[in-house]
Structure 1
Amino acid sequence: MDILFSDFFQRAIIGGLLIGLAAPLLGIFLVLRRLSMIGDTLAHVSIAGVAFGFIMNIYPLAMGLVFSIVAAFGIEKLRKAYKTYAELSIAIIMSGGVALATFLFSQGKGFNLNVTSYLFGSIYTLNELDVYIVGVVTLFVVGVVFFLFKEFFLLSFDEDAAGVSGLPTRYLNMVITVLTALVISVSIKIVGALLVSALLTIPVASSLVVSKGFKHTLILAVIYSEVAVVAGLLIAGLYNYAPGATIVLSLIAMLVLTLGVKRSFRI
């Protein structure tokens, strides 16, 4: 039980709760727009940035952030170029991100073990700077979503109608994608690049099963996310499991439980 009162565990809880708030706030808009896989894409590009940061001796999360934002702009450009096949933009950028990350991994120089921690998450290694950056990104995301909530809502349900009504859809699309890049880049050290999209999508999937409206879905998604973060970290801390994995498995368990309860009530 002593681990629960350790400084590193407290930082892990704070960082996890912050991401647990920011991720589903954006995830609901991504899910409704059929862009659930964008999380995996930006995560792979972020890993390439992290590897580049180790090579250049630059703060890895900062380089992951830069790479993911550049990728976000690339996705939006390709979405406009392939309007009928918009999902191609995600496939193309993901392929490029994986290729670049693999190339940088091949450069070695003794940092591969450090980069691997970003693949699977290392929330216990969060330092004060990491928590500060996560906090700033979370506050920024919450602020933007609050001020552009109606615009994001209309864009998610009918982009064409939003454009006809005079909304700057191109600008709004870019804002959502860049915000997602910010959240992904600071999340990879918490749950890992291979699992980060789970925080964007699974809480939303769970809330959609039982919600009665958009705002209700959003609130429930945040609750699911925060509960899974706390439960996952407590289980990992008490039984020495991988924290990123336990967080995601907690999310999946909650989704299965929600589906089961919903089905039982229908019967």
Structure 2
Amino acid sequence: MEIFSYSYMIKAFICGFFLSLIIPLMGIVIVNKKISIIGDALSHVSLAGVMIGIFAGIQPMLGAIITCILASFFMEFIRKNFPGYQEISTAIVMSTGIGLASLMSGFIRTSYNFESFLFGSILTISNFEFYTIIILSLVIFFIFALLYRDLMYISFDESSAKLSGLKVESINRIFMFLIALTISISARTVGILIISSLMVIPVALSLQFNRGYLQSTILSSVFGIIFTLGGLFISFYLGLKPGGTIVIFGVIILIFMILLKKKR
């Protein structure tokens, strides 16, 4: 239990718990809507937001939050103008994020450690980031819980949801807002290049159990928590990078479960 004698590890476990609870909740919807690539698109935008925050002299996380929210609304705007072509809006937003990040890198003269955002640095988060993650994670969780049935409906069949009287466009906007918040607060801790993996892998594992939607949603968050906390334990005792360890640990468990299922 030496790991709990370090205050930074306790903070990492708390942040890891909250993030691994909400990230798979976003993942269960995007997987069923078949828009998993959306995590990659907004994560690239969050990097641009981090750079904008540094350039503007504000907290990089705030820059990422604002930029991701604007990008999510921009994505919905494009999607409405190209109905039936979801991948176009995702590709355009991803390209915009990469281009903006490349452009902003020419204006930042300080030797800032962008690797902590690319691959995550959950062990070095500030108090501001710590409390921001906890508060926004709770907000995201409660909004998701309130919209759970509506999100389940539109994730399978938007057309039927519209016919039943659901305000599909409003719900989609709120969901995009939740994804933007989730990704922007996860960039510093989980890592921009890793967030989308943590959205999809726990969901993929939960689908191996062939349960209903509610049970799959709960299992996704449970597996997300197991991957994150287990990855932190492994990285601490083996001296590895936490973000990468969490993802590889999850992939190994997923492969093991697939092989076990095939054997049965």
**2:241 paired with 1:233:** no
User: Within 5 Å, which residues of 2 pair with 1:59-78?
Assistant: 59-78=59-78
State the distance in 1 between where 2:197 and 2:154 align.
23
May I ask how many residue pairs the two structures share in their alignment?
264
Partner of 1:176: 175
CA contact (8 A) 1:55 1:109 kept: no
Instruction: Tell me the secondary structure at the aligned position of residue 110 of structure 1.
Output: coil
Residues 130-186 of structure 1, C-alpha deviations (whole Å, 9 max, x = no match): 121111111111111111111111111100000111100000011111100000001
The Cα of 1:3 is off from its aligned counterpart by 4.2
Partner of 2:135: 136
Normalising by structure 1, we get a TM-score of 0.96
Gaps of 5+ in 2: none
State the distance in 2 between where 1:239 and 1:170 align.
47
State the distance in 2 between where 1:3 and 1:228 align.
17
Normalising by structure 2, we get a TM-score of 0.97
CA contact (8 A) 1:31 1:201 kept: yes
Partner of 1:12: 12
User: Within 5 Å, which residues of 2 pair with 1:1-267?
Assistant: 2-111=2-111, 113-265=112-264
- Letter matched to residue 72 of structure 2: A
- Letter matched to residue 242 of structure 2: P
Gaps of 5+ in 1: none
In the TM superposition, structure 1's runs of 4+ consecutive aligned residues that sit over 2 Å from their partners are 1-4, 113-116
State the distance in 2 between where 1:159 and 1:231 align.
37
Residues 81-101 of structure 1, C-alpha deviations (whole Å, 9 max, x = no match): 111212100000000100100
State the distance in 2 between where 1:211 and 1:219 align.
13
RMSD: 1.1
The Cα of 1:257 is off from its aligned counterpart by 1.2
Residues 41-87 of structure 1, C-alpha deviations (whole Å, 9 max, x = no match): 11111110101111111010001000000000011011111112121
The Cα of 1:210 is off from its aligned counterpart by 1.1
Instruction: Tell me the secondary structure at the aligned position of residue 114 of structure 1.
Output: coil
